[in-house]
Amino acid sequence: MITKKMSAKPQVKKAVVRQMAKELKLFTQRFPKIKIILLHGAGSFGHPLVYKYKLLEKPLAGPRLLGFSKTVCSMRHMGNLLTDIFRSVKLPVLPIQTTAIDSSNIRQLKQILNAGFIPMFSGDMGLTKKNQSVVVSADRLAVLLSEKFHTSKIIFATDIDGVFEKFPPKNNSQPLSLLSRKNLKNMLKKMKSQKNRYDVTGNMAGKLRTLLELKGEKITIFNGSKPGNLTKALMQKPIGTRIIL
């Protein structure tokens, strides 16, 4: 949603990010005690490189070592570009390496939040115990953080209006307003994998499958590219698709 996936060179959609940053700034001014953690996917800065260097759960050797390094550096660059936009509206966003935070040092993340920062994580590359490369998705990280912050609310800003009965949605079709765990399971049975050359994490189907790991959570999936929608989602007003697990 925040990158131009079809461009030859990775680019951030600056106008979209700036609009969302302004809405987030107004929300933090109104509710200064609410702690916020930002997560973003890899978009055109990561997915094409993962495919190019064949980094999906492959042993790291030869060209893959350089490809792994290049992908990680590309994600850092993306994080810096986004941080610059957030800082331009006076939001204290602090980019943090995704693989630097796990269940053992979540206390450090809480300290960062209590200090007044808005930590930001991205999709990233990681290593398995067998030294194979693995994609660490922002969706997966959302599940981890939700388990540690039990009062959290999860909102997903995408480039479509929510979850539809069929993907891609037909013209004039409306997103489903509410989904239960049972609804979600039935929907995923009908959905085939939507992985493509621009998304190595499974697109919407992959996101929904990951969310099934959550329990007792309320999630909102909405179109973040439309002005005002982020504010509605943050204020928990009807927008997009609400999922109750």
Looking at residue 197, its pLDDT comes to 46
State the average pLDDT over residues 182-209: 69
Looking at residue 192, its pLDDT comes to 63
Q: Specify the pTM.
A: 0.89
Contacts of 143 (CB under 8 A, 6+ apart): 210, 211, 213, 214
Q: Is the pLDDT score of 198 beyond 80?
A: no
Please, what is the angle between helix 14-30 and helix 63-88, to 10°?
50
Q: Is 58 a member of any domain?
A: yes
- Mean pLDDT for all residues in the chain: 87
In this structure, how many other beta carbons lie within 10 angstroms of the beta carbon of residue 116? 10
- We report the CATH number of the domain holding residue 85 as 3.40.1160.10
d(CA 236, CA 215): 19
* Percent of the chain residues topping a pLDDT of 90: 49
Q: Is 151 a member of any domain?
A: yes
Contacts of 188 (CB under 8 A, 6+ apart): 205, 208, 209, 212
d(CA 138, CA 192): 21
d(CA 244, CA 173): 22
Q: Is 177 a member of any domain?
A: no
Looking at residue 102, its pLDDT comes to 67
Q: Is the pLDDT score of 94 beyond 90?
A: yes
Domain count, the chain: 1
User: In the chain, where does DSSP find H-type helix?
Assistant: 14-30, 43-52, 63-88, 106-114, 138-148, 181-190, 203-211, 229-234
Query: Which stretch of 70-74, 194-198, 210-214, 230-234 has the lowest confidence by average pLDDT?
Result: 194-198
Q: Is 243 a member of any domain?
A: no
What is the residue range of 27's domain?
14-160+217-233
Q: Is 199 a member of any domain?
A: no
Q: Is 152 a member of any domain?
A: yes
- pLDDT-derived band at 104 (thresholds 50, 70, 90) equals low
Q: Is 146 a member of any domain?
A: yes
Q: Is the pLDDT score of 201 beyond 80?
A: no
Q: Is 66 a member of any domain?
A: yes
Looking at residue 148, its pLDDT comes to 83
